[in-house]
Amino acid sequence: MSAAITRAEVEAVYPRVANAVAQALARDPAEVSLNSRLFADLEAESIDLLDIVFRLEREFKIQIPRGRIIEDARGDLSEAEFENNGVLTAAGLARLRDYLSEVPADNFRPRMNIADVPTLFTVETMCKMVVRAMRAAGA
């Protein structure tokens, strides 16, 4: 496991991430904050998440592999321990809650579908995604 992401690392990338999110969602940057939830607060759709990722990849010259969050959150759990037919197990949900520590705990619902996980993402989730990708690229 790599070292925990620090507040300073998140804050360093935040302005450019917030800008990318605002542009992708055609919103005023003032409407975006670190803890805005992309879907619930900023009314993103799934295609907007793709747009945000494309913009971040270009802005930071990084690669954000699809499905990386789920893979990282699963860690050393086997797929069967993590999910059952696309539904998160109790252990899987606990792992995800740890991994997405920036998401308020009451947003996680038991028997959540893996496909719905992106609806939890906040702007900080995207910042952490960028930091991890930059670390992976050795930047």
Partner 1 sequence: MLGDSGLAGKTVIVTGGSRGIGRAIVELFAAEGAAVTFLYRAGRGAAADVVQQAAARGHLVVAEQADVRDPAACAAVVERCVARHGSVDVLVNNSAVIRDNLLPWLEPRELSEVLETNVTGVFNITRAVVPHMITRRAGKIINISSVAGAMAGRGQTNYAASKGAINAFTRALAVELAPRKITVNAVAPGLVETSMSEQIRDRAGDRALSRILLRRYGQPAEVAYAVVFLASRFADYITGQIVYVDGGFKME
Query: Is 35 or 63 the residue whose CB approaches partner 1 more closely?
Result: 63
Centre a 10 Å sphere on the Cβ of residue 25 and count the other Cβ atoms it contains: 19
CA distance 107 to 117: 10
DSSP 106: G
The token pair at 75 is 């860690």
- Least distance (Å) from partner 1 to the CB of residue 51? 5
CB of 24 to partner 1, least distance (A): 7
**Least Å from the CB of residue 64 to partner 1:** 12
Which residues make up the interface to partner 1 (CB under 8 A)? Answer: 24, 26, 45, 47, 50-51, 54-55, 58
Q: Which of 33, 5, 3, 37 is nearest to 17 (CA)?
A: 33
8-state DSSP, 103: S
For the bound state, the minimum distance from the C-beta of residue 68 to partner 1, rounded and expressed in Å, comes to: 17
In the bound state with partner 1, the residue whose beta carbon lies nearer, of 10 and 53, is 53
CB closer to partner 1, 38 vs 93:
38
